Structures are given as C-alpha cells and as structure tokens.
Amino acid sequence: MKKALIFGAGKIGQGFLGDLLHEDGYEIIFADVSNEVIEEINENNRYSLFLTNHNYEEKIIDNVSALSLLKNQEVILEAITQVDIIMTSVMKSNLVSVAPILAKGLKRRLDEGRSRVLVMACENAIMGTDTLVNLMTDTSIITLDQLKEIGSYPNTGVDRFVFGGIYKGREGTAVSDSHELAIERQKLDDPDSKPISGAEYVDNLEAVLKRKIYLVNCWLAITSYIGHTKGYKMVDEALRDEDIQKIVKKAVIESAAGLEKKFGFSNDEMNNYISEMILKRYDDYNQEGINDPIARVARQPIRKLSSDDRIMGPAYIAAEYNLSNDHLLYGAAYAFKYDNSDDEEAVELQEYIKENGIEAAIERFSGLQKGSDMFNQVLEYYNVI
C-alpha cells in the first residue's frame, strides 16, 4: 500500500490533504504537536469529515495514524525514509520548525539508498515548497544537491472551505465540495504523472496561485475588514450585508481584469472560476453550523496589506495595465482601520499609525510612494471612512 506523511493534522491536513490521499488509497501518517489531536486519530485510526453540500453526510477517513513531533521524532524520521509522498500543512511561518526533522529524514533516506520521494508544502502561501527547500538547506543538515538527488519539490496552490464544529451531534471537520490543489507539473519526476488524482497539474503555478489569492482571499479579506468596521463578528454576517458586497464584488472584478491581462486568462475562465470558487461559497457560509469569525479572516493585517498579497497585489497589477483599482484601494483603507487587541499585527499597525501617522503607515506597509495617485486614493478613503 502507498504511504503518505503529512506534517500538520489541522483542518486542511485532515479535511483536504488527508481526504484526497484517502481517495487514492494511501495509508496516511500525520505528524503534529497537539496531543489531543494525535490521541483522537490514534483511538480508532480514523476520523470523520462532514460534507457541507450534502446535508453534512459523514465521510470516514480510515487507515490513518498520528505521531507527535515532540515525542516521536525517531519514528517520524523512519517514516520519512519509507513513505511515497510527504506534505506539509502547518502554516508558512511554521515551516522553519518542520525543516530540520525533514532535512534529517531525507538525508537518512539518501544515505540508505532508498527511492526518491515527492515533497510538497501545501500552505496558503506563494511558492511554499521553495521556502521549505531553502529552510532545509539553511539547516546545513543536507545540501541542495542532496535534496535534488533524493526527491522532487513542486510548489502547490491549496484551497478548500474547511471548518471545525459540532456536526451530527459530534465534534468534527466540515468540508465543501469545491476545492483546488494545484501542483507544478514541471517539477515532478514525470511531468505527465498524476501522483494525486484529485489534484490539478499546471504549467504556470504563479498564475493559479495569484488567481486564488487575488480573488478568493481578496473577497474574504475586504469583506472582513469592512465588516469589522461595521461591528460584525462573523463572516457570514458581512456576506449578507448587500452594501458591503456591492463594494467587494467590484473589487473582485477589478482584480480579475488585471489577472486576465497579466496571465492571459480568458474572460470565460475567470467568470467560471468566480462562479465555482466564490459564488458557491455564499451558499457554504449560509449552511447551518458554519461559524467563521471575522477575527480569523482579518488576522495579520500587515501581511495582508503587503504589495504582493490579496489586496494591494491585484491593485498594483491593475495599475500596471491602467485598469481601475478604486474598490481594491477602498478595501485597503479599511484594512488600515483594522483594530483588534487580540491580533499582534493589528496592534502593531495601530500603534504605528498613532505614533507616525497614517501617511507613514501607508508608505511603510503597502509600498506605495507618498504622493502617488494610489497613495492619495488610499489616504482619501481612509480619512472618510
């Protein structure tokens, strides 16, 4: 039986990666830091998913086990030498913690003369596997040449609507039908192979990643920042606010127009993607039992205001092609207003604005040059909100 090791047994790890690998008949080993999650998985070597688009029908993912990254490192190292696929779902910021043990395991695999392995970081980040490879070489445990000798390392794009909650009277993970796991075709050992049948294999991953981040993540981020200012606590509340959605839909259209110009997407392709990955999620968010706090979606506003992220990224592309970006910049102004004492970046942002003024903050966090047209628009919107 084929085996897979997944670092991270959270919602995406279990609800998306585990689901896809299970469909392909893999035995799945999770590596995580949560004793509670590990014990739950190992109790019956299975877990449940609940399908939001099918009245929360239960789906059993079996033939799984879990290991502790804190207590079972030797067993994890041995697993790294034996599995067919290694994936991560730990958040990009936590890849630095995974890199040393993965580097050590891959070096052992190489020294033992074992077969090559497929390694993929499946994070909500652009070119996450490249980041993981760089972090592994930074450890000095393994060189880049050795990594290339023992494995292949395609980047990925990951998207699925996944939530934890109480379903059918039991705690579990709810997942929607719509999903996307895009894998760089050219970095596979065999570009024509499909190691995971439920994935999409693409030649231009940057285009696919930015389509997802600049449309889906943009839509939810601006919705949440405006919703927070209006006093909403949950994303579904802001999604039902027609005034907010009029603004957000126009921002998404601006983003889509820029992506068409930059990456050559057809208008039909873009409309189909918006229909499949965004419009259907309005229905997902209206499902009973889906509770998504605005604080989760709006978290880390400094990162989300950076020049290549979900709001300013598409605004810059639109400007590059002399296209409208008014509503994207309006969304950015609301992001600068985001004030949440429980969010470290929100606190840092508001303290910076208080000490240095909004103009300095716009220049520092969005990369906009003071006095430029885009800078002036964000400033104007900020002052009238």
Q: What is the CA radius of gyration of the chain?
A: 22
Tell me the CA distances in angstroms from 213 to 223, 253, 293, 304, 317, one per residue in order.
Answer: 14, 14, 19, 10, 13
Return the CATH number of 3-202, one of 3.40.50.300, 3.90.1150.10, 3.40.50.720, 3.10.180.10. 3.40.50.720
Residues 226, 332 contacting (CB under 8 angstroms): no
Tell me which amino acid residue 32 is.
D
Give the total residue count for the chain: 385
Of the chain, the end-to-end C-alpha distance in Å amounts to 58
Query: Strand 151-152 to strand 156-167: parallel, antiparallel, or no bridges (unpaired)?
Result: unpaired
Tell me the CA distances in angstroms from 324 to 6, 35, 284, 328, one per residue in order.
Answer: 42, 50, 30, 9
- Give tens-digit pLDDT for 327-380: 999 999 999 999 999 999 999 999 999 999 999 999 999 999 999 999 999 999
Q: How many CA atoms lie within 13 A of 39 on its CB side?
A: 3
Q: Where in the chain is the domain with CATH 3.40.50.720?
A: 3-202
Q: Tokens 């880390």 appear where?
A: 300
Residues 305, 334: Cα–Cα separation, whole Å: 10
- The better pLDDT of the pair 254, 278 is held by 254
Q: Nearest CA to 66 among 91, 33, 30?
A: 30
pTM for the model stands at: 0.83
Mean pLDDT of 262-279: 90
Q: Nearest CA to 324 among 228, 258, 246?
A: 258
Residues 51, 167 contacting (CB under 8 angstroms): no
Q: Is residue 297 classed as helix, strand or coil in its secondary structure?
A: helix
Report the CATH number of the 205-384 domain.
1.10.1040.10
- Give tens-digit pLDDT for 260-269: 999 999 999 9
**Would you say residue 146 has pLDDT above 90?**
yes
- Locate 74 and state its tokens: 């030797």
- Give tens-digit pLDDT for 207-242: 998 999 999 999 999 999 999 999 999 999 999 999
- Locate 242 and state its tokens: 């027609």
DSSP codes, 244-292: HHHHHHHHHHHHHHHHHHHH---HHHHHHHHIIIIIHHHHHHTSTT---
Q: What is the pLDDT of residue 276?
A: 79
Q: Tokens 């110009």 appear where?
A: 261
Q: What is the pLDDT of residue 175?
A: 92
Q: Where in the chain is the domain with CATH 1.10.1040.10?
A: 205-384
Handedness of CA 130, 132, 138, 141 (dihedral sign): negative
Q: Is residue 163 classed as helix, strand or coil in its secondary structure?
A: strand
Q: Nearest CA to 204 among 245, 146, 154?
A: 154
